Structure 1
Amino acid sequence: MVNRSFYGTFARALNGALLLLLAASCVLPFFYALSVSLTPMTEVIKNNGFLLIPKKMTFFAYEQLLHGNTLLNAYKVSIFRTVVGTAINLLFTLMAALPLSRKTLPGRNACLLIIVFTMLFSGGIIPQYILIKELGLLNSLWVLIIPGLINGFYLLIMKSFFEQLPKELEEAAKMDGAGEVTTLVRIVIPLSMPIIATIMLFYAVLHWNSYFDAVMYLTDANKFPLQVYLRNILISAVAASGDAAADAADYVNPISIQMASVILTTLPILFVYPFIQKHFTRGVLLGSVKG
Structure 2
Amino acid sequence: MAAVEDHTKVGISFGAFTLFAGERLLTREGVPVKLGARALDILVALTSAPNEVCSKEELMSRVWPGVTVEEGSVRFHIASLRKALGDGKDGARFIATLPGRGYCFVAAVSQAGSRRNDEKIAASNFPHANIPTRLSRMLGRDEDVLKLSFSLTASRLVTVVGPGGVGKTTVAVAVAHHLMSAFAGSVLFVDLGVVTDPKLVPTAVASILGLSVHSDDAIPSLVAYLRDKRILLVLDTCEHLIEAVATLAVSIVEAGLQVHIIATSREALRVEGEHVYRLDALACPPIGGG
TM beyond 0.5: no
Q: More relative contact order in 1 or in 2 (CA 8 Å, sep 6+)?
A: 1
More helix by percentage: 1
More strand by percentage: 2
Q: Which of 1 and 2 has greater Rg?
A: 1
